[in-house]
Each structure stands twice: as structure tokens, then as C-alpha cells.
Structure 1
Amino acid sequence: MNFGRLVYFAHVRELLQRAFESRGLDVEIHRVRTGPVASLRQRAGDLAEVIRTEIPRVSRCTSSATAPVASTRA
């Protein structure tokens, strides 16, 4: 499937990386796997889980203070 410059999301990572680099930002992009027919609630849960498990690891690798990335409400 073709969505203009993005071919079925195959190039999203590269597009994002170039966009951040062009602004002088060094970022780490994580892929979040979700089911092909997952609801928005499920996808949000999958994203929250990756943030919960990956951000502490990334934060330990940096020496500067980091701002909160996400918060959730019960």
C-alpha cells in the first residue's frame, strides 16, 4: 500500500530519524509491535508498556536529567 512518501509504514523509522537529525537531535527510536487489528486501547497499552520498560533503561545510559515522557491515569 502506498501513502505518498511512506510505503505501508516501512520507511517511518528512517523518515523520523532523518527529521530529528536535520534538527540536530540525537534520538533513539523504538519499534512498538501491535496486532494488525488491535484497538486503539490495545495499541496505547502496548506503547505504555514499551515506555515503562525501555525509558528506565535509556535514562540510566544518559548523564543529563530527563523530563517525564508520559504519564497515565487510572
Structure 2
Amino acid sequence: MPITAEEIEILIRESFPKARIEVQGDDGAHFAAFVEDESFRGLNRVQQQRAVYAALKDKMEGSQGELHALALTTKAPE
């Protein structure tokens, strides 16, 4: 069953409850997400993105993962 943008947002929000999150994509496999969260302050971009990918790990693992591609943009609030 394909994953939805709304489901991705819910999964990210579980790890980042106060984040500004925007998820786009409607083909069920390829998405783009923007996540802005205070917890990213002091982390480099790779560390920020690893934190978000960790929240989605179960959905992205292996060839049977529901989420095949996620273009991810992260940042701390200005």
C-alpha cells in the first residue's frame, strides 16, 4: 500500500512535534519534505537529515520499503 504525504508528515511529527513540516508528492513513492526545527540548531545539514531519516527508517528500509525517494530540506529557525 503506497504511503501518503500526510502519513510522512505524521511520522516526522512524532520525532519533531514542534517542527514546521511541509511534505509534497502524490505518486505514493517519491516525495519532497521541508523540516524546520529548533533541535537542528548547531547541527550540520547531514546531521539534521539523518535525524529526519531516522524518524522514517521503517518506511524506507530495503526494497520493500513504502517510501522510495525523499528529497529533504532541513534547517533551524532563523
Per the normalisation by structure 2, the TM-score is 0.29
Which protein, 1 or 2, shows the higher relative CO under an 8 Å CA cutoff with sep ≥ 6?
2
Say which one has the larger Rg.
1
